[in-house]
Structure 1
Amino acid sequence: MGLRRADRGRVRGDRQDLGGGERRHHPQPGRRRPAAAADGLDRAREAHQWPDPAPRPTTLVQQVNWLIANWRLKLLALALAIGLLAAVAFSENPVSVTSVPAVVDYDNKDPSIVVLNPVLKTNVNVFGVSSAVDPLKASANFPNGVRFHVDLKGVTQPIAQHTYFATPKTLPPGVSWNGDAVPITIGIDVADTKAYPIEVRTPWVSPGFKVLGPNDAQGKPITYAECGNSAEACQVKVTAPRSLLQNLKAFVQIGAQDHPLSGTNVDSPTQPVKFEQNGHPVDLSNFKSFPVPAVDPSIVNVHVTLQQEQVTRQAAIKANLTGRPACGYQISSISFTPSAVATISGPADKVSTVDNITLGQAIDVSNATGAVRSQQPVPTDGFSADPAQVTVVVSIQKQIDCTAPTPTPSPSHS
């Protein structure tokens, strides 16, 4: 039998030596074989080119031993620490489920349809830590980033009413939808466009005036709504649900109860176009549809032509007296012939405010002891008067005797 290499680090190949590879091994005698020479192992190593074992780093071995020693207890302690940290954190910022407002979008809508009575805002249930979900509830923070949507892909025909279910479109970081159903009930109509003439309404006109038009005898517009500076009557185009366009009328209304129209021509710029349906006012800007109705133009200029009517009314005639009758006399009456009341006729703005007419020539009654007569025309200012002339008689009567009494001579005494 030849020489056999003993296992490294072992005595006779079955036990650890004290050096752990720190010193050279010496061959040991085995059964049935003599001991090898002292340098036999060295020659064998050199023959087979065995490298010397590298020394083990003592510090790294200690660190590894510390890490793997009692690893089950250390892993349990780490898990408990993480759990305690999570418990403290969630006690201050717990996870909660709450209802928050959300914007509702209508995606994949066909351009030919309109959504009736759209739900543009609804409440949905979301969950997350309190610091993430609580601010979403405040109305001051709306829109808050929570958006749901209704998919209208393939919807092209009118539907009186149908319930769809909205799903999340966008959610803020740290917020999740809890999966509760979000029903959205809406109607569907077909979009259409129609043009309407604009009626000019003048409910308040001063007495004695009337509105002419809308066209004159030659068919030219004289009372109308104009678009821009065209000076012609225009029409308004409305794009809205087809059901809304039925029996719709467009109009503008100018004047006010405390400021009635008067004069011959009134121009009122930037008047909003209004609408009514079956005699009831309709505010298209507040009509509940998506998209909202479009009106073009929504603002127009209005031109109104008026004409004065002849107004007839009665006015009292008054005389202008100067001076004072003679001593002891006073005015007993003033009479007008043929009448003390004149019938006046003319344009409303001239006649409507005339309640009495004062004669233009003053009648002097200074030191008068009898009746004073004066014939005068009735003055007019843009209107006619009947009678056109009156005779004024100022009657004067004696009331007391102003003559000094004659003294009576006293009797003589003899």
Structure 2
Amino acid sequence: MRWARENMGLALLAFGLAFALWAAAVWEENPPVERSLTDVPLAFQGLASDHVVFERSAERVRLRLRVPRAMEGTIVPQDVEAFVNVSGLGEGAYERPVQIRVHRRSIQILEVDPPAVRFRLERVESREVPVSIQILGQPAIGYQAGTPLPALPQVRVTGPRSRIAVAAMAVGRIRVEGARQSVETEVALEAVDSEGRVLTEVQVEPARITVTVPIEQRLGFRELPVRVNLRGRPARGYQLTEIAVDPPTVTLTGDPRRLEEVGSYLSTEPIDLSEARGELIAEVPLVLPPGVALVGAPNQVEVRLRVEPILSTQVFQQVPVVVEGLRPGMIARLSPETVDVIVRGPLLYVESLQPDQLRVWVEVRDLERGTYTLTPTVILSATVTNLSWTLIPPSLQVTLMPAPTPTRTR
């Protein structure tokens, strides 16, 4: 016992030295490093259920931390919690410090930015306000927009008491640019005061509603489609495959009685298709009835016509297959020895093809003795590039063998 009392100091000194050596080793292997966490959400704790926080000076905070190097890459915003304690506070303006709660050991908080936040507390109130819809843009020429029809005439707004006191209406916006028929769509609503200023921190319920804007044709205007007046026929073997008009419709203005007398479409001046082929683009005048005029456009439209060959098919049956590149002393046996060739292309060219203009062959150059499955090649002597063909069958068997030795006669 006496020995223990006399050596207690030495034992404590030895323990302290050992701990210092251990701490130094840990420090050297895993030294602390600084790390920043940005955009840490700021919560308000202890808030009464009938109160709301608004006009806060900060929504998030930035933290400077010290952590062991081994943890540096694993730190996430969820490892800490930033909050302001508002327990027991009533309505009013406040400035309170930001508090940090750490959820992982070894994290040391060095700095909080901002260290404090300013905010207001108010009671939550709600009431109903009328819905007002603003129309954006203009309908097509000759049309007018009627009064917007919201699905609900009123909606409920909820928020801080001072905001709700000045809430005048819930405003939505609907676009009718270029419309020729009624527009129906869902629009978002936001609360505004009597000056049209948006009220932040105020929720609108429902936040979106369906709105219909009637679009009607104005008196003295009439919209009609354009009809292209074609005469003549394309060149033999060709057909009209596309007609495009820009603009496809035009608006007339004039005396309402005159407009009623106009037919169901407006014609262009005649376009002659005689012997036409390829693509034709032309500015063509419109035929206007007396007493009416076009609105917002010159008295002509752009007409685009496409005239293309009529496609046809011709079948050449039992076309012999020729062997090319056969080595001396070898013979070839084909199975089958003929194929059918289906040629597709422009009518004029396909109809004029003759069997002697068609050649089918297989290439056996560099092939040794044996049996092969080969795909024949088709050559047309006609100088036409837009033809296609199909072989039946698409491939055939070619057997290569030595030619039989002639029998000598005595």
TM-score tier (shorter): 0.3 to 0.5
Which structure exhibits the higher relative contact order, with contacts defined as CA atoms closer than 8 Å and separated by 6 or more residues? 1
> Structure 2 length as normaliser, TM-score?
0.47
**What TM-score results when the alignment is normalised by the length of structure 1?**
0.47
Rg larger for: 1
Give the number of the structure whose residues are more often strand, by fraction: 2
